[in-house]
């Protein structure tokens, strides 16, 4: 991977965390290799306005809360307000899991609890669209880990579905992307998720040893193919 990358984006990428151990994963190394720096903001702790007013790329990461839980987590209200303006201003934005749900909500789509939790590794069904940015993930298992889902925002382009949920990825305009699945997960970091989300996993009756084994089987391929996806996205932003 070349350290030089032809882009007009500012050389720092801002990432909003909604949970300490859900970070950019292997994508952080991809960004460093491309000559970018990374700056994290902790939702609910830090002021998010610098990240959401930023002209460069801002990535909204995952977390175990719901977009609609604003009474319990009031910081979401301001995050959504700032994001709505960011989208109006057409600033480059990527959302992953909860981040994708927040983008969908900010665009006026309904976000709600799904019929069942989708936790585990499986392939995506890629939409037949021109210049499909996820083409490198064709037949590549990705990690799904969510209970909520969303309707496709108006004027958004559907990019991918799964067997359980039709809206796994979308594009809005040329520089806003939402991914319900976890493009970013690093294979050697998943154990943190298995520990941190133990209550959710046991409540959903997920086979933890199997999830760990699938991670060992598929994570390396996701990192390879996901790197190609991110490099393609960076050219589009």
**Interval 184-210: pLDDT, tens:** 999 999 999 999 999 999 999 999 999
- β-pairing, 111-122 vs 142-150, is antiparallel
What backbone phi and psi angles, to 5 degrees, belong to 130? -65, 145
> Could you tell me the fold of the domain covering 12-236?
Rossmann fold (3.40.50)
* Per-residue pLDDT at 5: 60
The beta strand positions in the chain, using DSSP E, are: 12-17, 37-42, 58-60, 93-96, 111-122, 125-126, 142-150, 157-161, 169-172, 176-179
Question: Which candidate, 165, 176, 59, 61, places its Cα nearest to that of 119?
Answer: 165
Q: For residue 75, is it left (φ>0), alpha (ψ between -120 and 50) or beta? A: alpha
Give residues with Cβ within 8 angstroms of 143, minimum separation 6.
120, 121, 181, 182, 185, 190, 215, 218, 219, 222
Q: Any idea what DSSP says for residue 57?
A: -
Give CA angle at 27 (25, 32), nearest 5°. 115
Which of the 8 DSSP states describes residue 157?
E
- Tell me the domain boundaries of the chain: 12-236
Name the nearest CA neighbour of 163 among 213, 205, 200, 114. 114
pLDDT for residue 8: 86
Q: What is the pLDDT of residues 214-224, one digit of tens each?
A: 999 999 999 99
pLDDT digits 0-9 by tens, 16-36: 999 999 999 999 999 999 999
């Amino acid at each position: 991977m070349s350290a030089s990358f032809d882009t007009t984006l500012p050389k720092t990428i801002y990432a909003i965390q909604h949970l300490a151990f859900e970070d950019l994963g292997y994508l952080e190394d991809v960004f460093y290799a491309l000559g970018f720096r990374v700056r994290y903001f902790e939702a609910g702790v830090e002021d998010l306005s610098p990240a959401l007013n930023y002209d460069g790329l801002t990535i909204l990461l995952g977390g175990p809360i719901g977009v609609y839980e604003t009474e319990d987590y009031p910081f979401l209200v301001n995050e959504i307000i700032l994001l709505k303006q960011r989208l109006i201003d057409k600033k480059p934005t990527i959302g992953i899991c909860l981040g994708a749900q927040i983008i969908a909500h900010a665009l006026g789509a309904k976000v709600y609890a799904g019929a069942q939790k989708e936790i585990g590794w499986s392939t995506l069904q890629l939409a037949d669209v021109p210049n499909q940015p996820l083409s490198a993930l064709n037949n590549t298992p990705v990690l799904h880990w969510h209970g909520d889902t969303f309707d496709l925002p108006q004027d958004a382009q559907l990019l991918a579905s799964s067997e359980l949920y039709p809206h796994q990825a979308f594009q809005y305009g040329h520089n806003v992307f939402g991914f319900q699945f976890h493009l970013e997960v690093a294979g050697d970091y998943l154990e943190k998720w298995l520990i941190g989300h133990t209550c959710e996993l046991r409540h959903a009756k997920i086979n933890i040893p199997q999830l760990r084994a699938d991670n060992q089987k598929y994570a390396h391929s996701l990192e390879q193919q996901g790197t190609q996806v991110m490099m393609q996205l960076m050219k589009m932003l």
